[in-house]
Amino acid sequence: MTSFFEHQKSSFKRNYLRNLIVLAAADGSLGVDEKGLITKIGLRRGLKAWQIQELFETTGHHEVFLPESMANRMNMLYDLMELVYVDRQANENEIIYIKNLLSAFQLQPQVMHELTLLFKDGAPSSLEWRDFVDSVCSVSVEEL
């Protein structure tokens, strides 16, 4: 029997991955590279292959899911940016999606430029990403 907390955690992971699928389909199609990366991220985040496949097959409207903690938000942002640049280019709809998400996360608009520079040649190293997160989070805290 699934406990309430296990169900909640599974729901979080599925909603998280749905955001990635919505972004990947923003250009009108879901490419092989995008689908492969989403599957890899889903498995890394603890979903089963059948759960991921089920999410790909689910169509219809999806509300954007916003994680509550800054750590989860930054993890999602990393995965979204990795997905945007899987084909080494970002289209206008993807950029708009990320900008709207940054706004919802209450992050400064210039973060988009920093993200673009960070991901333009592929995913940043762990150290580069941690430095970026530290700088973004310190700016957010200072503004409070």
Query: Residue 4 pLDDT more than 70?
Result: no
Instruction: Compare 74 and 10 and report the one with higher pLDDT.
Output: 74
Q: What pLDDT shows up at residue 87?
A: 76
**Residue 92: its pLDDT value, please?**
85
Whether this model's pTM surpasses 0.85: no
Taking each helix axis from N to C end, the angle separating 70-84 and 32-44, rounded to the nearest 10 degrees, works out to 160
**Domains in the chain: boundaries:** 4-143
Average pLDDT on 80-108 reads 86
State the CATH architecture for 4-143. Orthogonal Bundle (1.10)
The mean per-residue pLDDT over the stretch 92-114 comes to: 89
**pLDDT tens track for 32-89:** 988 999 999 999 989 999 999 999 888 667 677 788 888 889 998 999 899 888 877 7
Token pair 């940043």 in the structure block, residue: 124
DSSP string over 37-74 = HHHHHHHHTT--HHHHHHHHH--S--PPP--SSHHHHH
- Beta carbons of 86 and 37 less than 8 angstroms apart: yes
